[in-house]
Amino acid sequence: MKAIINKLLFGLLALALLSACGTRSKENNKSGEKQQKIRKEVFVPDFNADSAYRYMEEQVAFGPRVPNTPEHAACARYLVSTMKRFTPHVQVQTFKARAFDNTALNGKNIISSFNPEEKQRILLAAHWDSRPFADHDPDPEKRNDPILGANDGASGVGVLMEIARQFSMHAPDIGVDIIFFDLEDYGKPETMQANVEHDWALGSQYWSKNPHKINYRAKYGILLDMVGAEGAVFHKEGFSMYYAHFIVDKVWDIAHEIGYGNYFPMQTSGSIMDDHYYVNTIARIPMIDIIHYYSGSKSGFFREWHTTYDTMDNIDKDVLKAAGQVVLAVVYRE
Ligand SMILES: [Zn+2]
């Protein structure tokens, strides 16, 4: 297995500090006047995009993962059993939520923890459900059909499954919780006029009000959404900038440093309502969203967004690699 070693050079500020009375000890003279550099090597595993792609194929093979359907239930079982291969600490948070049309939805947030006893934690997340209606399909006949959600759903989850597999082989120093949020994409269809608020991202809203652990805290979170489409780039998203500017800077800087700068332009996009909004505003954990913004479409998203064309055909392994490798580097540098 290949591995990437990032050499972090920490310049040690070796100037001797003068004491208040202007004298310094002999010891300080010896070690302090030599400018010393400490080299710290950080091991970062090599993200395997083929593996992430396969985890996406396996999700999509269930068909649309629409809440309250057998396909959704079967995919949940698959996600839980696969994550259990990577960590024994997998929890399913079952809950009920009301959809925009008053349907009672059975939700399942799936939470996999690494180094559960570690106090310093990072939260990684993606949504695993897929949208019940292709309301942006070019064919009006298909706009009530559910979508396969290869990019919109399965890509973020596939990348995080591969990250989990890497964790199982080389545990990171920090604690990590990977959450697959449910019921993200059951918001009211575009054609519906009714004024409904907060009808999207029901799983993250539930978790933010009821975290899987009492007094749960994480230093920060990273959400992945639509991280697989051909031609994708990830702009600095508005809510991420507002709530967690320092994490955006950290992630984008690392992306540029390790050679994925072309996927992470130093440009901002508008603010996108996504699971991270609720983690920021309800759970009060600073969380960013790595999400594909595409200025060339009216929606701001990839061309096949919320259509029946959101299939594996439009997935680019190089994009998965960029997203996955950057997140791995961020985690292992903590
Ligand atoms: Zn969606």
Give residue 117's domain range. 47-332
Angle CA(323)–CA(324)–CA(328) in degrees, nearest 5? Answer: 120
Residues 30 and 178 grouped into a single domain? no
Q: What is the DSSP letter of 21?
A: T
CATH number at residue 126: 3.40.630.10
Residues 83 and 110 sit within 8 Å (Cβ to Cβ): yes
DSSP per-residue string spanning 201-270: -HHHHHHHHS-SSTT---SEEEEEES--BTT--B-B-HHHHHHHHHHHHHHHHHHHHTT-GGGS-S-B--
Q: What is the pLDDT of residues 25-68, one digit of tens each?
A: 334 444 444 444 454 678 999 999 999 999 999 999 999 999 99
At position 203, the amino acid (one-letter code) is: G
In this structure, are 128 and 76 located in the same domain? yes
Q: For residue 40, what pLDDT is reported?
A: 61
Inter-CA distances, 200 with 55, 82, 106, 155, 283, Å? 25, 27, 15, 19, 17
What pLDDT score does 29 carry?
Answer: 43
pLDDT band at 177 (very low <50, low <70, confident <90, very high): very high
Q: What is the pLDDT of residues 89-111, one digit of tens each?
A: 999 999 999 999 899 999 999 99
Residues 133 and 10 in one domain: no
Give the distance (Å) from ligand 1 centre to CA of residue 8. Answer: 38
Torsion of CA 125, 45, 40, 322, to 10 degrees: -60
CA of 306 to the centre of ligand 1 (A): 6
Q: Are residues 113 and 25 in the same domain?
A: no
Beta-bridged to residue 2, according to DSSP, are: none
How would you class 271 by CB atoms within 10 Å of its CB: exposed for 0-12, middle for 13-18, buried for 19 or more? middle
Question: Rounded to the nearest whole angstrom, what is the distance from the C-alpha of residue 34 to the centroid of ligand 1?
Answer: 56
Cα–ligand 1 centroid distance for 91 (angstroms): 24
Q: How many domains does the chain have?
A: 2
* Alpha-carbon span 309 to 305, nearest angstrom: 8
Q: Mind listing the pLDDT tens digit for each residue in 272-292?
A: 999 999 999 999 999 999 999
In this structure, are strands 175-181 and 220-225 parallel, antiparallel, or unpaired? unpaired
Alpha helices in the chain (DSSP H): 26-32, 49-60, 70-86, 156-169, 202-209, 238-257, 275-278, 317-332
Beta bridge partners of 291: 225
Tens digits of per-residue pLDDT, 234-251? 999 999 999 999 999 999
What is the rounded average pLDDT of the residues 175-195?
Answer: 90
Interval between CA 188 and ligand 1 midpoint (Å): 11
131 C-alpha vs ligand 1 centroid, how far in Å?
Answer: 6
- Do 14 and 52 fall into the same domain? no
Q: Is residue 30 domain-shared with residue 87, that is, in the same domain?
A: no
Same structural domain for residues 126 and 30? no
**C-alpha angle with apex 193: 190 to 196, nearest 5 degrees?**
90
Predicted TM-score (pTM) of the model is 0.87
Which residues does 198 contact at the CB level (< 8 Å), separation at least 6? 205
Q: What's the 184 CA to ligand 1 centre distance in angstroms?
A: 7
Residues 37 and 54 in one domain: no
- Same structural domain for residues 10 and 83? no
Does 228 have pLDDT greater than 60?
Answer: yes
- DSSP 8-state assignment for residue 305: T
Rounded distance from Cα 293 to ligand 1 centre (Å): 13
How close is the Cα of 177 to the center of ligand 1, in Å? 23
| Residues 140 and 38 occupy one common structural domain | no
- Using the mean position of ligand 1's atoms as its centre, give its distance from the Cα of residue 147 in Å: 9
Tokens 């600095």, residue? 236
Distance from the CA of 307 to the center of ligand 1, in angstroms?
10
Q: What distance in angstroms lies between residue 305's CA and the mean position of ligand 1's atoms?
A: 7
Q: What per-residue confidence (pLDDT) applies to 28?
A: 43
Task: Assess whether 86 and 26 both reside in one domain.
Answer: no
Mark whether 22 and 59 lie in a shared domain: no
